[in-house]
């Protein structure tokens, strides 16, 4: 932990952004019917019910990381990958009312804990489920990623084009950094609307499009519609 705590006003603004995104998500879920939850989501192998169950349990997993930061007692994000998957499978078949109540409560638990985090604990080092170390401030971004991307995955009319410029501005460079190309291959992406450019691997081609379209393609949420250039196959992010 370092002594350079972020300003509480900055953290509060970030949390307001997550709260607004969550409200949009919950409003969309509330407009669904029980029958809609068994329909496929945009994620291969997952129904809408799977996506909602995952969103709820992810909020609880990020509560664990905030508790770790607040108390200094190591609390893994998930007990295990097996239990993470089992909880999603168990929660997916539930009716809409149960899903919505669970998602609302889990989201509120996470947000409430985040809003009372002491400023000097935000730089505490925690680890995500893959073992990557990060300051607790990153947990706020992690939740925003889950809410915004999985809102798209529900396939209820919310698209990457509706992501804010600030969100896309964070997502695109992260996506470029995390893509793993085949050995000896790669590409450069250039955003025609923001001027951002980034290279994956050893660039052999250039792909252009809007920042939102590029980000959506890089995380497997788009086949690359609207992009120009030779597009390699990329896997979806969950």
The whole-model pTM stands at 0.93
Residue 9 confidence (pLDDT): 82
Same domain for 209 and 92? no
| Max CA pair span of the chain | 51
Can you tell me whether residue 175 is helix, strand or coil?
helix
Q: What is the mean pLDDT of residues 77-90?
A: 96
Distance CA 144, CA 187 (A): 27
Q: What is the mean pLDDT of residues 173-191?
A: 88
Residues facing residue 188 across a β-bridge:
199, 206
Q: Does 230 map to a domain?
A: no
Distance CA 203, CA 230 (A): 12
Q: pLDDT tens digits, residue range 98-112? A: 999 999 999 999 999
Q: CB–CB of 191/168 below 8 Å?
A: no
Q: pLDDT tens digits, residue range 148-165? A: 999 999 999 999 999 999
Q: CB–CB of 70/117 below 8 Å?
A: yes
Q: Does 127 map to a domain?
A: yes
Q: What is the mean pLDDT of residues 27-34?
A: 98
Smallest CA-to-CA distance from 175 within 163, 183, 3, 184 is with 163
The parent domain of residue 134 ranges over 8-158
Q: CB–CB of 93/46 below 8 Å?
A: no
Residue 237's pLDDT band (cuts 50, 70, 90): low
Number of domains in the chain: 2
2 pLDDT more than 50: no
Q: What is the mean pLDDT of residues 62-67?
A: 98
Query: Tokens standing for 198?
Result: 């980034």
Q: Where a domain ends, among 119, 143, 158? A: 158
Residue 3 confidence (pLDDT): 36
Same domain for 206 and 184? yes
Distance CA 20, CA 220 (A): 24
Residue 21 confidence (pLDDT): 98
Distance CA 33, CA 57 (A): 21
Residue 202 confidence (pLDDT): 86
Q: What is the mean pLDDT of residues 48-76?
A: 98
Residue 233 confidence (pLDDT): 74
Residue-averaged pLDDT of the chain: 93
């Amino acid at each position: 932990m370092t002594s350079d705590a972020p300003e509480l006003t900055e953290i509060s603004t970030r949390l307001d952004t997550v709260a607004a995104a969550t409200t949009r998500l919950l409003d969309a879920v509330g407009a669904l019917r029980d029958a809609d939850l068994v329909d496929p989501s945009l994620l291969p192998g997952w129904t809408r019910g799977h996506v909602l169950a995952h969103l709820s349990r992810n909020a609880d997993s990020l509560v664990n990381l905030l508790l770790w930061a607040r108390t200094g007692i190591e609390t893994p994000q998930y007990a295990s990958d097996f239990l993470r998957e089992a909880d999603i499978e168990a929660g997916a078949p539930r009716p809409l009312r149960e899903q919505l109540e669970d998602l609302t409560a889990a989201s509120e638990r996470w947000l409430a804990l985040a809003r009372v985090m002491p400023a000097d604990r935000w730089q505490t080092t925690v680890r995500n489920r893959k073992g990557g170390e990060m300051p607790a401030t990153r947990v706020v971004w992690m939740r925003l990623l889950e809410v915004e991307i999985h809102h798209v995955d529900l396939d209820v009319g919310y698209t990457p084009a509706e992501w804010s410029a600030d969100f896309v501005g964070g997502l695109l460079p992260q996506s470029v950094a995390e893509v793993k190309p085949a050995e000896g291959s790669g590409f450069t992406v250039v955003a025609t609307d923001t001027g951002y450019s980034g290279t994956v691997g050893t660039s052999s081609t250039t792909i252009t499009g809007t920042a939102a379209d590029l980000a959506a393609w890089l995380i497997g949420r788009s086949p690359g519609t609207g992009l120009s250039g030779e597009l390699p196959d990329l896997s979806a992010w969950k």
